[in-house]
Structure 1
């Protein structure tokens, strides 16, 4: 279990939780993630005596001012913040609860192509609100042990409530996928149970939950209705690309003094901010290999990496085709993973 925490158990042996050790025990009250730790999670899947997962809040490191977005996207993000900041005014003072009586918290969905800043924006939302953030992805929730996946879902919501944290689910299409209408094995039933528990936790949650996804079409309709605002992240336009080039090139990076950011923006049309990070990193490596007086990043270096990034977008990987049944995009447990199974059928 995480250092500085103690395990507490219910008498029925079913519910497990973790509580911070007090100062009397000689440990700090709250654990701190190491600098640069990308995920707010520690521990292993429960079952077979392993420690159950625990979700640790982190302080967001990036502010919304550091996130470069097209104006249309930023306006939607600001609206999402208004929904959180003025929730009491909207629902209690202005009476929106009369038409939406069951909504306690706010759920947001950030969707769009990879590399457009969804996860970064989710962290920046927590920063703006002055709250810690708990990042959760599919691997931290899914378990091969029957009943553990729903328990993991409940645990992360409990952790967010305890610490007043913003709960962020990356790759949310894996978690919010459609329930299966044709249940043919125990694994199918487990998928439906997990979806039902997630719906229940969303209804009970009084804080902010942010989902990010590259595949929004995979969401179950019941989740779409419970999410208050959906913000589409778009590939950057020419003006946004120029701002990205201005911000992403580190001051310490040796670059050709005549580097034209406007030309780079035109050259990189169709790429996302995440692509530009890879472009700059690759070009910097080329310059480092040359070394000496030639060890500066040039327009030629960047243009070559831009073309490489564009080829990768075109030739490597693909999104599901429109109309692909959601059931075909949901991971099913293999027969060997189903408890009681004798392994793959011959």
Structure 2
């Protein structure tokens, strides 16, 4: 609707708004300057243009608000975002400039040659809305302020913000918004690698109805951050999908480890356009940097739906925490039976062992079964326990690979030489793993003990005495993957990052039933200091405190080795499930090590004196291994069998490499 008004200066004189007083003064000052330059011939523009600019601009008509046709994408967007009438008209003009060649050419005639400028849009959209110039200008500045809805969601882009006056800046509608308003509703291609849009649909999994309803209730409250607590694979995402289905809403699942921080606002913008709820996996990974947290906080002001996350986040919004527990073994057994095909090669005992070994909830079990089915189909074999083990490894290897390396163990127990009492301690350790489902589950000890049901082992002793080797042998005997933690990748100069890296390793080991080996773990298990003199001391204490708290809750299997037991914090040592001391080998043990480390198929001289070598060189098993291998290469180069001379020369070289001034003393 257009409303005619009286044009010209006479109307302005009768209806001038007091708020335009600044404008009247500014026009007078500018006119004086123009007349001064005109008198000296310094004006470049034509006389007609100058005179037109000096006349007060008064709208010939006032434009009434417009109700856009309901049911159209444009009207739907206006309603969902709660846009005002001036903002809606601004969007309409910008969209038309992108879709209608005639409108684009008309804008060019008005002065917007490459892209619409704000002065042109002011004349088109805002000046006709108010008699007072200042009122129209205020609308423009309000709609395009830095914190305005459309700019915060990057639905509008202004160019020249830092280099041009406001009215000379150009403005474009975001390509994503153009495609959306034209009815193209697929996920933004920028998000394809890190975001999934899930339509509301039933979740085919046995979930707790009570927990799903609690999550749905938290979402209904709006303006919250919902933190879903639980182990990886516990089913947090499935619960969120079920809650979204209950509410009839789509779900935008954001992978916090893969989404670039710069795309966070784009993802939240997509959620607003799709009317989707937001679920962020591994939020602490995404929000690790301060600038990302700042972007998120700014966007929260325009996205009022409750946002669900896994991980942690400091925010001004109220936080609701809901725990998604991993079910007990019998419940896990029922889940495995529900998701596995009817025909497998596993016995009932093997299936019970799988349920006991893998500390997975409904999410992890369903994902593992899907991967195992695919592997069995590819190999054209009946699904077996090997397929399940491989599937679980694939699920968690990404977490462990960032801080650890998987090690293949080739040694046998027969390669190990240790005193009987040490072997008895090691056998006790393996029994605690092999029979823990029976003792903790069937016999009820888990209920009595409450926490710290995992197995943590501290192996101490001089270098080369077999600590790491025993860890590998235990893992091999029990069918576990062994991951050696790389402490250089764990440690970080950033506050809290070391603890986060450790937590990632512990979580993955618990759920995926991998065994962790912290070799030479003094740096993370060292004694805390009460004399804190630097940030390094303070951070070291924090790391030790984190280890203490984590060991109390740990349900996986981990081994820690140290050369100096006294260097370990006493509180951590007390929390270890088992402590095994590896002694330096005596003469008899060294002789046995020399004998076992030379393979039966290796050519040896008939007069090889291993007894003398064991007597003369006080070496631990690791160093004897080095010497034997070194001597074998010397013999191979000469084309001769391994002799005492080769091994003696190799031993002298080993002592020299270790900085020893003489040979024959203890090398450890």
Whether the TM-score (by the shorter chain) exceeds 0.5 is yes
- CA gap of 1:160–1:57, structure 2 versus 1, over 3 A, is farther
What's the offset of the Cα at 1:208? 1.6
CA deviations over 1:49-90 (Å, ceiling 9, x no partner)? xxxx25465554334333222223212211222233344555
State the match for 2:284 in structure 1. Answer: 14
1:263 matched to 2:608? The reply is: no
How far, CA to CA, are the matches of 1:88 and 1:266 in structure 2? 46
Distance 1:8 1:257, change over 3 A: farther
Instruction: Provide the C-alpha distance between the structure 2 equivalents of 1:138 and 1:70, rounded to a whole number of angstroms.
Output: 30
Deviation, structure 1 residue 133: 1.4
What's the CA shift for 1:14? 1.6
Written as runs of structure 1 = structure 2, the 5 A alignment for 1:19-168 is: 42=401, 53-55=402-404, 57-87=406-436, 93=443, 98=448, 101-168=450-517
Structure 1 window deviating more from structure 2 (74-83 vs 254-263): it is 254-263
Separation in 1 of the partners of 2:593 and 2:647? 14
**Is contact 1:64-1:125 (8 Å) kept?**
no
Q: Is the 8 A contact 2:628 2:647 kept in 1?
A: yes
Structure 1, unaligned runs of 5 or more: 33-39, 43-52, 317-346
Q: Offset at 1:202?
A: 1.1
| Equivalent pair of 2:400/2:504 in contact (CA under 8 Å) | no
Distance apart, 1:127 and its partner CA: 1.1
How do 1:300-339 and structure 2 match up within 5 A? 300-309=645-654, 312=658
- The one of 628, 635, 641 aligned to 1:280: 628
Aligned equivalents of 1:250, 1:148: Cα separation in 2: 45
The residue matched to 2:456 in structure 1 has which SS?
strand
User: 2: distance between equivalents of 1:251 and 1:87?
Assistant: 38
| Pair 1:193-2:542 in alignment | yes
Task: State the Cα RMSD in Å.
Answer: 3.5
In structure 2, distance between residues paired with 1:223 and 1:259 = 47
Q: Secondary structure, in 3 states, of the residue corresponding to 1:14?
A: helix
Shift of 1:296: 2.7
C-alpha separation between the residues in 1 aligned to 2:597 and 2:543? 40
1:49 aligns with none
Secondary structure of 1:305 counterpart: helix
Q: Closer, same or farther in 2 for the Cα pair 1:251/1:95, shift >3 Å?
A: closer
Deviation readout 1:114-153 (Å, 9 max, x if unpaired) = 0111101101111111211121132121012222100000
Q: What residue ranges of structure 2 are gaps of 5+ in the alignment?
A: 1-192, 195-253, 257-279, 287-309, 311-363, 379-389, 663-668
The structure number with the bigger radius of gyration is: 2
Taking the TM superposition and a 5 Å limit, the aligned residue runs for 1:216-255 are 216-255=565-604
Where is the helix percentage greater, Structure 1 or Structure 2?
Answer: 2
Whole-Å separation in 2 of the counterparts to 1:219 and 1:150: 18
Contact 2:400 2:505 in 1 (8 A): no
SS in structure 2 of the partner of residue 61 of structure 1: coil
**Residue 11 to residue 206, structure 1, CA distance change in 2 (3 Å):** closer
1:204-244 deviation line (CA, Å, top 9, x unaligned): 11122111111211111110110122111112233322322
- Select 1:296's aligned residue among 610, 634, 641: 641
What SS does structure 2 have at the residue aligned with 1:162?
A: helix
SS of the aligned residue for 1:277 comes to: helix
SS in structure 2 at match of 1:254: coil
Q: Structure 1's 215 and 258: CA in aligned 2 closer, same or farther, altered over 3 A?
A: same
Distance 1:278 1:129, change over 3 A: same
Q: Distance in 1 between matches of 2:636 and 2:281?
A: 61
How far, CA to CA, are the matches of 1:134 and 1:209 in structure 2? 9
Shift of 1:259: 1.5
Tell me if the contact between 1:70 and 1:237 (Cα under 8 Å) persists in the aligned partners: no
CA distance in 2 between partners of 1:83 and 1:146 (Å) = 36
Instruction: Choose between structure 1 and 2 for higher RCO, CA contacts under 8 A separated by at least 6 residues.
Output: 1
Following the alignment from structure 1 to structure 2, what is the Cα–Cα distance between the partners of residues 88 and 143? 37
Classify 1:195/1:177 alpha carbon distance in 2 versus 1 (closer, same or farther; 3 Å). same
> How far did residue 157 of structure 1 move?
0.5
Q: Structure 1 residues 41, 68: closer, same or farther in 2, change over 3 A?
A: farther
